[in-house]
Amino acid sequence: MTMVCRLGCAACCIAPSISSPIVGMPNGKPAGVRCVQLDERDLCRLFGDARRPKVCGGLQASPEMCGETREHAMVFLMRLEHETMPSEVNV
């Protein structure tokens, strides 16, 4: 079940790593690092822009991932990030 993102949450733009280039972050983004494309209201400057990485557009908000708070979403996404690391890094 998909849902509408919580305005100003931005957990999906901070918690996960992104390996593809992002405008202003040519080497992608490490997990836990705020994307440079987040504005002061925690909204994506590239939303709806063809330059937005496909992985960003592919991540869909869901009740399981987002929960009721940004903190829930951060914990969920950081756990997912850890669980999907290549095994030689995941220690």
Residues 8-54: pLDDT tens digits? 899 999 999 999 999 999 999 999 999 999 999 999 999 999 999 99
Say how far residue 76 (Cα) sits from the centre of its chain. 11
Helical (H) or strand (E) element with 84:
none
pTM of the model: 0.85
Residue 91 has pLDDT above 80, yes or no: no
Helix and strand element counts for the chain (H, E): 3, 0
